[in-house]
Structure 1
């Protein structure tokens, strides 16, 4: 019944659509250069700082979960292992970046460690959907998620925020920046500390029967830059994520299996501009350190070094070409002591055509990767976007691309589970979109060969024969209902099957997100948002425990005391719905939080 109500509301709101002026947004991840979102052919969603600050998300996963085509699972509360599924493909097949620096953990099995990504000083989150290996290389099969932190604004600025709530949760944040013509500096610190609740709980049990599993996260970031002159500048950034997670060993709700993580992400970029081109020379470093004092009783240390040069050359009025060279090394230290490297060359071209008054954007990307461990790879992407003149507001687009995922060093060399004969996965995907003003429908389709999986008979990783096929629809509708109410809504239908034509686990067939925001009272914002998760199962072939078919509703309110100070409160799981996203792992009941933010 709840599903029918939400579907009816989504359909009825389409009938009362009112045209609104969309805010101009620039994205950097679609073509590796700054570009208006209007001129990007790829399917792109952007979560802005305004939305983040109004919704008061705690984690990046919560924010991503509001986007069509995305759902997630987690092994308990804050800080536990989380998997984000983008168009049915799991985390290790999505390239995640922090300010353009790789966040995918080379020592892990799950790609990016989403559980440690807290919301801090984030300017926007860019989600580029579909195969992006032709631009970014390996691990961008499902798409790219780039988390962009805030930059310094001219003058002296700062902010401080604090939040308190359920499970003895405390959040603090500090941000300060200074910028003038020649240089800038910005520093931020965010901390989350909670007693939490049990990570594991048999389905149906009261989570209060078990001990709490706490979590602490401290994320710090610094950015600074210097302008030598109007044509030459240098920018640097450094992010540290420190966390301590309490969790439970498998099927042991009152057990102890703590972990400590200290990851860092650094880059230096020299930028030169002249009348012909813009040139970037960069170095990036991702360091991963994970320590499991109980359970695993071992350390996982990894490092990714990246060096490259990239040029962006405009020609004609609205056309440009991006060309670059890139070199990376991937190393897994400790017990494995293995590494491999990658050399690449990439090219992206974008053109804007006007024919009979209608605008069309065409982009082409190609990339060649040379690994010392795997066969060479050539991938590409083609995108077209057309703005119809005869029907104002009608936009159509199509994208097709090839991509691949490489085995992790653990997949290859672990003494017990590894398989040195593994080869990269290969994926071909495409999508077709039709948008009219605030309404958009997208069909997506991907086929993966040689998918890396785990054989429960041999206890080894292997390349599956056959093809993994995923297809689906995304429907998005965002508008204003009158002057004071904004509606954000999306619906995703997913059909995901493995190489044996069995439905893949942990992916809901239907997902609906709805949010209503009211601004009718001066200085006050009230928002209510809900999510419906359709049928899904804990195992492939619709077997195991059914973990879908539930609705969760949240409430948030913000009030500005003056131009510098605001207060807020939020209630999560407003109707105290009992559910599990993974069988045997606990989720939060009704919980409440309140906070304050001051800025200058």
Structure 2
């Protein structure tokens, strides 16, 4: 098989990293060899030991903006980015990760208090989001790769919809108040996460408790008669913890379709829980659970028959979903061999009442998923680690468009990570997936990272392949509006990227850049037949996506942090037509300020430029400005006011669908734990 240009380029990048590391290692060794040995006299050595043992006196923090604040040593939250969990499915130092990754920390989430996870993802360089009305279907893209190519998990749970047309995750249902951390891993990750992870992985973790008992609560009200509330209770010890949370949001909303004038409201009630317990120093058990009930009104798709009558009560949807995961982790050989086994299940029921072709319609959807997963990590030498695993999944679905169908998928994989030279980390491995309908598919992934400590510079590169099997809906749908196609083939992909991460002044400043390319073949699209029935079919040729992303953060003063991001994406089909709803240029800007001891402010803005929708329709450019001001009333009690779309931009992310105008919200957050309680006495 001839080597493709993307594969050749990525191999060159990886080889260059090795050569660069070897050269730096040789220069370092040469310098150290030419220096004379340092001889320290005994009495001088004793003085140095005493000096090192004497703690340095802390400097008093300077006055900051009429208040007092301790000077941070790095960009706020930067320390929590030092370890990445999703890249290798085990904790990995950021300097050893060869993939491009963005981490959204708890500090960022609290600074903005947005409602949904997708609100934060929209600010990530390389990611774009489009939505067709309040609480309606959200499309999301990583490096121009659509939702169907992105793996999403919450506390290790696969919450994608088995009944969906493309088995994507409904980000519009995932509330953000209780989220602790979001990792956005970019580029093909099929080796460790399965074929669907062609564009990347979004890993969401909910909050973990501190030691002892703790409780949090929050409430918010504002525009569109919106109310939001959260309550959680937790208990943690040195052996384990348990945490349970309930979140709710309701709103009268606004008209989804631009030509409508009735409000499309929505409600979401979510329960979640996580916990773990150490049976011994080497054995622990854990669990995660989620359940949600979501209801929303919507405007049925506009067609030649027109829209459902405004205010018609039948245009609504109900989504009920329950999922859970239990497992155990066992460490052997003094922790050198870590084994994790888990089982998870998910059940989904959806009902939709709508309006199409001049008449009312009702569709019901039910889906189930069971998955068993094993992951083993062995530290075989100081410089080599093997990660291997296997997973088995059963998935069934039944909708109004087809009777019950199902698939089985078995995967096995292995990855080797080596550190042949100081600062250089190389990973590589392969995966085989056996699909009950389409047989065996092999994928691979290689990454390289070189960290030069004296200048705090990291160079990285990665390449990988993936495949996505047609969904049950794409295969078997059959009604008067849509027809599946059992002759479809799996989509295949190849991607690569090269980039750098540079830290300055003890991580007070950070700059990152990446060039990326993602190609897919056998992409599944569709078209209308002679009877105006949508038929799924393969798109000939290669769909090509390439671009550049840049991001940076700077702690300008101890009380002011600035951030910025820029992404350029050129995404086109084989015939040269652009892929829809992906801004060619996007810019994000942010600022966090500590104005006084008890007052904090956040301002962020996002520009979306040069976006097309279906039929090459050019969407208007737009800029969104959001801000939040918070005041700490007392320890553990904070009041805030925040605004979204403060410029009151009239814009669309999906043609003919509305977006919210200027919106203002106010709220309170309360949390109490042992430390907070002591400070209140």
Q: Distance between the aligned counterparts of 2:114 and 2:420, measured in 1?
A: 40
Partner of 2:622: 550
Q: Distance between the aligned counterparts of 1:401 and 1:408, measured in 2?
A: 22
| 1:241 aligned to which of 270, 292, 296 | 292
Q: Distance between the aligned counterparts of 2:129 and 2:445, measured in 1?
A: 27
- 1:24 and 1:36 in contact (8 A); partners too: no
Q: Does 1:350 align with 2:410?
A: no
Q: Does 1:486 align with 2:561?
A: yes
Deviations 1:438-497 (A, max 9, x none): 111110001111001112236311111100000000010111122321111100011000
Partner of 2:38: none
Q: Distance between the aligned counterparts of 1:489 and 1:413, measured in 2?
A: 45
Partner of 1:31: 88
Matching of residues 378-397 of structure 1 within 5 Å: 378-389=442-453, 392-397=455-460
Partner of 2:339: 279
- 1:272 and 1:278 in contact (8 A); partners too: yes
Partner of 1:429: 495
| 2:250 aligned to which of 159, 168, 193 | 193
Matching of residues 449-460 of structure 1 within 5 Å: 449-457=521-529, 459-460=534-535
Q: Distance between the aligned counterparts of 2:381 and 2:582, measured in 1?
A: 45
| 1:336 aligned to which of 399, 403, 410 | 403
Partner of 2:546: 471
Structure 1 range deviating more: 61-70 or 233-242:
233-242
- 1:131 and 1:428 in contact (8 A); partners too: yes
- 1:425 and 1:452 in contact (8 A); partners too: yes
Q: What secondary structure does 2:473 align onto?
A: helix
Q: Distance between the aligned counterparts of 2:330 and 2:194, measured in 1?
A: 25
Structure 2: gaps of 5 or more residues: 1-71, 356-360, 504-509, 673-681
- 2:522 and 2:538 in contact (8 A); partners too: yes
Q: Does 1:325 align with 2:368?
A: no
Q: Distance between the aligned counterparts of 2:239 and 2:194, measured in 1?
A: 35
Structure 1: gaps of 5 or more residues: 1-17, 203-208
Partner of 2:51: none
Partner of 1:142: 199
Partner of 2:52: none
Q: Does 1:264 align with 2:322?
A: yes
Partner of 1:539: 614
Q: Distance between the aligned counterparts of 1:509 and 1:292, measured in 2?
A: 34
| 1:376 aligned to which of 395, 420, 440 | 440
- 2:431 and 2:444 in contact (8 A); partners too: yes
Partner of 2:642: 570
Q: Distance between the aligned counterparts of 2:94 and 2:528, measured in 1?
A: 45
Q: Distance between the aligned counterparts of 2:614 and 2:541, measured in 1?
A: 19
Q: Distance between the aligned counterparts of 1:397 and 1:184, measured in 2?
A: 37
Matching of residues 74-113 of structure 1 within 5 Å: 74-77=131-134, 79-110=135-166, 111-113=168-170
- 2:95 and 2:451 in contact (8 A); partners too: no
- 1:92 and 1:104 in contact (8 A); partners too: no
How far has the Cα of 1:34 moved from its partner? 2.1
Q: Does 1:598 align with 2:670?
A: yes
How far has the Cα of 1:375 moved from its partner? 2.8
How far has the Cα of 1:294 moved from its partner? 3.7
Q: Distance between the aligned counterparts of 2:278 and 2:453, measured in 1?
A: 43
- 1:24 and 1:37 in contact (8 A); partners too: no
Q: Distance between the aligned counterparts of 2:258 and 2:245, measured in 1?
A: 36
- 2:80 and 2:105 in contact (8 A); partners too: no
How far has the Cα of 1:120 moved from its partner? 2.9
Q: If each structure's helix is expressed as a fraction of its own residues, which one has the higher value?
A: 2
Structure 1 range deviating more: 329-338 or 56-65:
329-338
Partner of 1:413: 476
| 2:221 aligned to which of 137, 159, 164 | 164
Q: What secondary structure does 2:449 align onto?
A: strand
From the superposition, tell whether residues 269 and 88 of structure 1 become closer, same or farther in structure 2 (CA, over 3 Å).
same
Q: Distance between the aligned counterparts of 2:429 and 2:641, measured in 1?
A: 46
Structure 1 range deviating more: 158-167 or 281-290:
281-290
- 1:37 and 1:44 in contact (8 A); partners too: no
Q: Distance between the aligned counterparts of 1:554 and 1:482, measured in 2?
A: 22
Q: Distance between the aligned counterparts of 2:603 and 2:205, measured in 1?
A: 26
Q: What secondary structure does 1:229 align onto?
A: coil
From the superposition, tell whether residues 263 and 481 of structure 1 become closer, same or farther in structure 2 (CA, over 3 Å).
same
What TM-score, normalized to structure 1? 0.92
Deviations 1:154-200 (A, max 9, x none): 21011010001001100000011012244432100000011111111
Deviations 1:380-435 (A, max 9, x none): 11000111356x02221110000111111010011241111111100000001023
Partner of 1:7: none
Q: Distance between the aligned counterparts of 1:567 and 1:318, measured in 2?
A: 50
Q: Does 1:442 align with 2:524?
A: no
Q: Distance between the aligned counterparts of 1:293 and 1:440, measured in 2?
A: 47
Deviations 1:245-266 (A, max 9, x none): 1101122272542000011221
Which has the greater radius of gyration? 2
- 2:113 and 2:177 in contact (8 A); partners too: no
Q: Distance between the aligned counterparts of 1:455 and 1:324, measured in 2?
A: 40
Q: Distance between the aligned counterparts of 2:276 and 2:518, measured in 1?
A: 41
Structure 1 range deviating more: 427-436 or 246-255:
246-255
How far has the Cα of 1:306 moved from its partner? 0.5
Partner of 2:276: 225
How far has the Cα of 1:106 moved from its partner? 1.5
Q: Distance between the aligned counterparts of 1:101 and 1:306, measured in 2?
A: 10
Q: Distance between the aligned counterparts of 1:169 and 1:517, measured in 2?
A: 26
How far has the Cα of 1:153 moved from its partner? 2.6
Structure 1 range deviating more: 60-69 or 325-334:
325-334
How far has the Cα of 1:36 moved from its partner? 2.5
From the superposition, tell whether residues 548 and 321 of structure 1 become closer, same or farther in structure 2 (CA, over 3 Å).
farther
- 2:95 and 2:449 in contact (8 A); partners too: no
Q: Distance between the aligned counterparts of 1:389 and 1:266, measured in 2?
A: 42
Q: What secondary structure does 2:231 align onto?
A: strand
RMSD: 1.7
From the superposition, tell whether residues 181 and 436 of structure 1 become closer, same or farther in structure 2 (CA, over 3 Å).
closer
